[in-house]
Structure 1
Amino acid sequence: MPPPAGTGLLRKPDTTLPHRLARSARTVQDAAVPMRQLRAWIAERGAAQLHHVERIPFADLHKWRFDDATADLAHDSGRFFRIQGLRVRSDHGPVTGWTQPIINQPEIGILGILVREIDGVLHCLMQAKTEPGNVNGVQLSPTVQATRSNYQRVHHGNAVPYLEHFRHAPERNVLADVLQSEQGSWFYRKRNRNMVVEVREPLPEHEDFRWVTLGQLHALLAEENLVNMDARTVLSCFPGGFEGAAEGSASDSLGAALAGSGDPAAGSLHTTSEVRSWITAQHAEHQVRADLIPLGAVRGWRRTPDEIRHDEHNFFSIVAVDVRSNSREVTGWTQPLLRPHGIGMVALLVKRVDGVLHALVNARVEPGYLDVVELAPTVQCTPENYDRLGVDYRPPFLDAVLHRRAERVLFDTELSEEGGRFHQARNRYQIIEVEPGCTADDLPDFRWLTLHQLTELLKHSHYVNVQARSLIACLRGLS
């Protein structure tokens, strides 16, 4: 008997998407907004957006107060976030128990980028946005970057532009949609919804938004403190398969090695099953208990009229700021911010194995993670914090990064972390190529993975941490 006739209800994968993404990644000058005009627009928005931020004493905070019973610092509405204490017990690292302040923001926000074809090339709708903690004012941000409290307008401010395209997106238009964590040392189980949504109709124009290709974003990632953290994490969640070598690239070039790294058919040092088993083992073997406690119960930290700081002035402080802006949903407010001490170092070592680029990632334990362990860059630290612990406690590969050879550095740029919660938090992001003989065989917390394997893990929550996601976005841009 002949098979039954089809109903036409079955849908198949969009095989054109990798090619459309690749074309966008190759397009820099022939974009809807040429690079010279794009830079001029960023400078113009930076001059037009008034953003004055001033440190203030805690007593001058408006609608924020310390709870009499717990000493927690929270907003009168009970929304946004609160500064609480965290007690940690761990079997991992040089210090196995401590207490600290932490940001508790249980709301799941939206970080979303709209994409649309313009003259046959996919463009991303990016926002020129100021944040109170930014080191330099305006940075390129996703189309939407909003907490639930923001988009529900708890602050009684203006509506978030383009929000409806994410909250009510037709499923067929969603290219990526995944919950991802943020800094596990500063946030308690913080997650945001990272989304990429394609639209086909023209959208109303706004002076703070411009359509930008992936190639332009990759170029701008190399500039200090320009593409913000929220944009970088969404860029890392774009579907993979567009890391092709440039036309005319030699077979032994970096572009060819990166293209092979994004191609599952090129092979890898470890199979997907082996990688998942390794990650599962890391989850099972590490014992971490992190419990929220009253901020007043934190030991080794002290509260002064204008900051909460560690007794030895290490790690970070909690400070208060007064903000005045003409480009945000409200024109003025006060809030706490976490202020890191020192500029961090975030580095990814890469090497070629049979012509395929592999990245060395670390299964890292942080107390604020929802699932104990996430994959981090090879090195992620503020070196000064280890000075008091001695040479035996220095992170693996830190000295290799500090003493790298200039010709081995593929990427080296200072990039800011999220300016809505952190005060001038900056990290030096680096990608460094090492010799093929470099190994980590004696370090069970490290593995060499391809870009394809990392991209596959990024389709799921709680596998790849926010610092590694930034470097994955930068790594893709090297092609």
Structure 2
Amino acid sequence: MSAFPPAAAVRAQGEHGDGHASLPRSAAVRSGPLGGSGDIGRWLAGQRRSAVMDVRRVPLEDLAGWRTDPDTGDLVHTSGKFFAIAGLDVLVPGAAVERWQQPIIDQPEVGVLGILVREFDGVLHALMQAKVEPGNCNGVQLSPTVQATRSNYTRVHRGAAVPYLEYFQDTARHRVIADVRQSEQGSWFHRKRNRNMVVEVAADAPDIAPHPDFHWLTLGQLHDLCAEDNALNMDTRTVLSCLPFVGPALPELLGPGRDAFTGALLRSCSGTAGGRYGMTEVLSWVTEARTRALSEARRIPLREVAHWRRGDGRISHESGLFFDVIGVAVTAGGREVAAWSQPLVEPCDDGVVAFLAKPVDGVLHLLVHAKAEAGFLDVVELGPTVQCTPANYTALPAAARPPFLDEVLGAAPDRIRFDAVHSEEGGRLHHARNRHLVVETAEDFEPDHPDYRWLTLAQLSQLLRHSNYLNVQARSLVTCLHSMTTTTPT
């Protein structure tokens, strides 16, 4: 049985639907125990110089501790734990591409992504880890306090214990600010979920001395890092998105906004002005989209996956597009285990994730897509307006090109309100990056498509209190939008 308490049984010390006043106060503070943004940059640069991790590509057949199942061809760990590379057969009637097959990461375990927070001198700080993952494009990125699969925290690898895990296993003395299971990329993972947690340490708890790779940072400092390429890892961004960064006090605590756009953004977060659609309408729309979706996805043996080949030590699509499955051998210092081997999914190119945004009666609304993905547990989740790897569409029918991609890529510079490249999960994906964009569109822009609707940030925050409503790309962009309420223009 898991050592973690069931989410529904966690002792909640107050509901946070109307916001948590310490969050915007922390977001307004740009210095902490580590100093200002320049000091954080220097610390991270030092961590990257001193990080000890060697990642060497090896053929899949040479991965130590992994084997090819003789019956299915699936690539599995000899322990039967961690994850496997399996096959998936997908049917989407009526789509531009109605059927395809692909390799998929099968990881049924629910991991924990947890950020520990505590007040210092009345300001909430988050305990963050400078962590290197084998798939990171730049070595060290800022990760949550705890980032561990069940196989990791139950120590299947016979390695060291995960630091600070006990605060997320036993929350009885502390305050749970966020606790919800969320999905990962539905195009690469089969029904993968992680428990996203933010736990505030009890005021009378003993001091917590950070390990050498950890530091206490304010939300304002984390928001500043959002604007930097490949600084906050995906797990940090998804956990931060689950914070109840909402409520009528936001404009009072953070100010009216530096311009009309951020003013509308703050009102969108506050929730006081409502949205174009009520929450009952939004929930009904999502339910209808899930009911209407006719897609089917079933596990098949990896050796039966059509149009993919295993050769030269990797698994690749015959077109050379989409992604490869590669093998790496890793040696690392400061990790629970010092050396291991594993497969990684390597995308063929960088992707784009973007929200089109516009004010409606002075409140910023985001164009949200009810998107079906093969690996989702509940068929459809809400994604950004655009979510794709443009290079892949050279091999697909013109009808498959995502709606609104041209509006995003062709946006005038003065319409681009946020633009940064962020990495995806480096423990399973190799150099996977997405350009994150928020593009302001004309107020009279009204798409006529049943799978798209204008929602406010406060509405997205309400949905984020529940599982399987916002996909990981949308959650990442929500964190970027929250960061825009306090960061200065670049």
Question: What band does the TM-score fall into relative to the shorter chain?
Answer: over 0.9
1:32 CA displacement: 5.5
SS in 2 for 1:115: strand
Matches of 2:16 and 2:463, distance apart in 1: 20
Other-structure match for 1:70 = 72
In structure 2, give the amino acid aligned to 1:320. G
SS in 1 for 2:190: coil
Other-structure match for 1:459 = 465
SS in 2 for 1:265: coil
Matched, 1:281 2:288: yes
Native 8 Å contact 2:77 2:83 kept in 1: yes
Native 8 Å contact 1:116 1:124 kept in 2: yes
Distance 1:124 1:16, change over 3 A: farther
The CA deviation string for residues 408-451 of structure 1, in whole angstroms up to 9 with x for no partner, is 111111110000000110111111111111112x2000000000
Matches of 2:274 and 2:326, distance apart in 1: 49
Other-structure match for 2:344 = 337
Matched, 1:445 2:451: yes
Matches of 1:81 and 1:360, distance apart in 2: 34
Other-structure match for 2:273 = 266
Report matched runs for 1:397-408 at 5 Å: 397-408=404-415
Other-structure match for 1:49 = 51
SS in 1 for 2:434: strand
Distance 1:448 1:171, change over 3 A: farther
Residue from 361, 375, 381 that aligns with 2:382: 375
In structure 2, give the amino acid aligned to 1:445. D
Report matched runs for 1:166-245 at 5 Å: 166-170=168-172, 173-199=175-201, 200=203, 201=205, 202-241=207-246, 243-244=250-251
Matches of 1:438 and 1:38, distance apart in 2: 40
SS in 1 for 2:251: coil
Report matched runs for 1:52-451 at 5 Å: 52-91=54-93, 93-170=95-172, 173-199=175-201, 200=203, 201=205, 202-241=207-246, 243-244=250-251, 249=256, 253-440=260-447, 442-451=448-457
Matches of 1:217 and 1:120, distance apart in 2: 18
The CA deviation string for residues 83-133 of structure 1, in whole angstroms up to 9 with x for no partner, is 000111122531111111000000000000000001110001100000000
Other-structure match for 1:7 = none
Matches of 1:11 and 1:426, distance apart in 2: 38
Matches of 1:12 and 1:478, distance apart in 2: 27
Native 8 Å contact 1:32 1:118 kept in 2: no
1:328 CA displacement: 1.1
In structure 1, give the amino acid aligned to 2:398. V
1:35 CA displacement: 2.2
In structure 1, give the amino acid aligned to 2:401. R
TM-score by length of 1: 0.94
Other-structure match for 1:473 = 479
In structure 2, give the amino acid aligned to 1:93. A
Distance 1:92 1:42, change over 3 A: farther
In structure 2, give the amino acid aligned to 1:220. L
In structure 1, give the amino acid aligned to 2:424. E
1:156 CA displacement: 1.1
Matches of 1:461 and 1:300, distance apart in 2: 34
Native 8 Å contact 2:257 2:266 kept in 1: no
Matches of 1:93 and 1:351, distance apart in 2: 29
1:36 CA displacement: 2.5
Q: Percent identity?
A: 52
1:390 CA displacement: 4.1
In structure 2, give the amino acid aligned to 1:132. P
Native 8 Å contact 2:28 2:254 kept in 1: no
Would you say how many aligned residue pairs link Structure 1 and Structure 2? 469
In structure 2, give the amino acid aligned to 1:295. L
Gaps of 5+ in 1: 1-9
Matches of 2:13 and 2:224, distance apart in 1: 36
In structure 2, give the amino acid aligned to 1:473. T
In structure 1, give the amino acid aligned to 2:455. L
Matches of 2:44 and 2:133, distance apart in 1: 15
In structure 1, give the amino acid aligned to 2:457. L
Q: Which moved more, 1:455-464 or 1:39-48?
A: 39-48
Other-structure match for 2:9 = none
1:187 CA displacement: 0.3
TM-score by length of 2: 0.92
Q: Which moved more, 1:125-134 or 1:28-37?
A: 28-37
Distance 1:366 1:220, change over 3 A: same
Matches of 2:259 and 2:37, distance apart in 1: 30
In structure 2, give the amino acid aligned to 1:381. C
Gaps of 5+ in 2: 1-11, 486-490
Native 8 Å contact 1:31 1:213 kept in 2: no
Report matched runs for 1:3-18 at 5 Å: 13=15, 18=20
1:139 CA displacement: 0.1
Native 8 Å contact 2:24 2:254 kept in 1: no
Native 8 Å contact 1:104 1:190 kept in 2: yes
Matches of 1:263 and 1:109, distance apart in 2: 31
1:388 CA displacement: 2.8
Native 8 Å contact 2:93 2:294 kept in 1: yes
1:39 CA displacement: 1.7
Matches of 1:121 and 1:418, distance apart in 2: 29
SS in 1 for 2:235: helix
1:255 CA displacement: 2.5
Matches of 2:304 and 2:259, distance apart in 1: 58
